[in-house]
Amino acid sequence: MRIKRLHFFAFCLCIVTGCTHSKSSVKSDLIVKIKDNHLVNKLEYGEIIYKSKTLDTLKLSEDDTRYLWFHFGIFNSPKTITELEKYNLNSYKSINDSVVPFESKFDAEGIYYLEGYLEEVILLDHYYNSADMREINKKIKISKKILYSEK
């Protein structure tokens, strides 16, 4: 009976440790750097830092191309990517493989949501030694609650 309890305890420990590790690795793939409080009508700087898992599995050649954009807007409530695609959003392009700097500004006091998505597009010029081009397109939802105030 004691051995069964020990096995059960070891099994539970593995599950808990595995879940904790999984959560921390997901967070390190995407970092949103922007303050929680903004002044009304003041331009605020932010950054999206993203480490692509797709690039870890692909070997890009000189002919292949990768684009990384951040599309966003300021809204009263959270939005899905499908909803966001219907709006005319602000768009910023990455300055290197992983950093997308952006600026935001809003003209009213209150709690609002910076709602957007990161779009990664990879164009493989010669897909598996054929003349065909392949496009890999990935969208990642980003949401940040921000307080806008006069002071």
pLDDT tens digits along 73-114: 999 999 999 999 999 999 999 998 889 999 999 999 999 999
CATH number at residue 101: 2.60.40.1930
The answer as to whether 73 is a domain residue is: yes
Rounded CA-CA distance 132/57 in Å is 20
Mean pLDDT for 50-63 is 72
- Position 97 scores a pLDDT of 82
pTM: 0.74
In a domain, 14, yes or no: no
| Mean pLDDT on 34-49 | 95
Alpha helices in 39-139 (DSSP H): 53-57, 81-84
- Average pLDDT over the chain reads 80
DSSP 55-75: HHH----TT-EEEEEEEEEEE
Nearest Cα to 105, choosing from 46, 17, 22? 46
Residue scoring higher pLDDT (16 or 36): 36
27, pLDDT greater than 80: no
Number of residues written out for the chain: 151
Considering the domain boundaries, does residue 19 fall inside one?
no
pLDDT at 21 over 60: no
Other C-beta atoms closer than 10 Å to the C-beta of 47 total: 17
Q: Tell me what the mean pLDDT of segment 29-56 comes to.
A: 89
The tens digit of pLDDT for each residue in 109-118 reads 999 999 999 9
For residue 136, tell me if it sits in a domain: yes
Does some domain include residue 20?
no
Instruction: Classify each residue of 49-58 as buried b or exposed e, where b means 16 or more C-beta atoms within 10 Å of its C-beta.
Output: ebebeeeeee
Residue 23 falls within a domain, yes or no? no
In angstroms and rounded to an integer, the radius of gyration of the C-alpha atoms of the chain is: 21
Residue 12 forms part of a structural domain: no
The parent domain of residue 51 ranges over 29-149
pLDDT at 41 over 80: yes
> From its phi and psi, is residue 128 left (phi > 0), alpha (psi between -120 and 50) or beta?
left
Q: Is the per-residue pLDDT at 18 higher than 60?
A: no
- Within a domain: 63: yes
> What digits encode the pLDDT tens for the residues 130-142?
667 778 889 999 9
Mode of pairing for the β-strands spanning 110-124 and 99-104? unpaired
Number of domains the chain is built from: 1
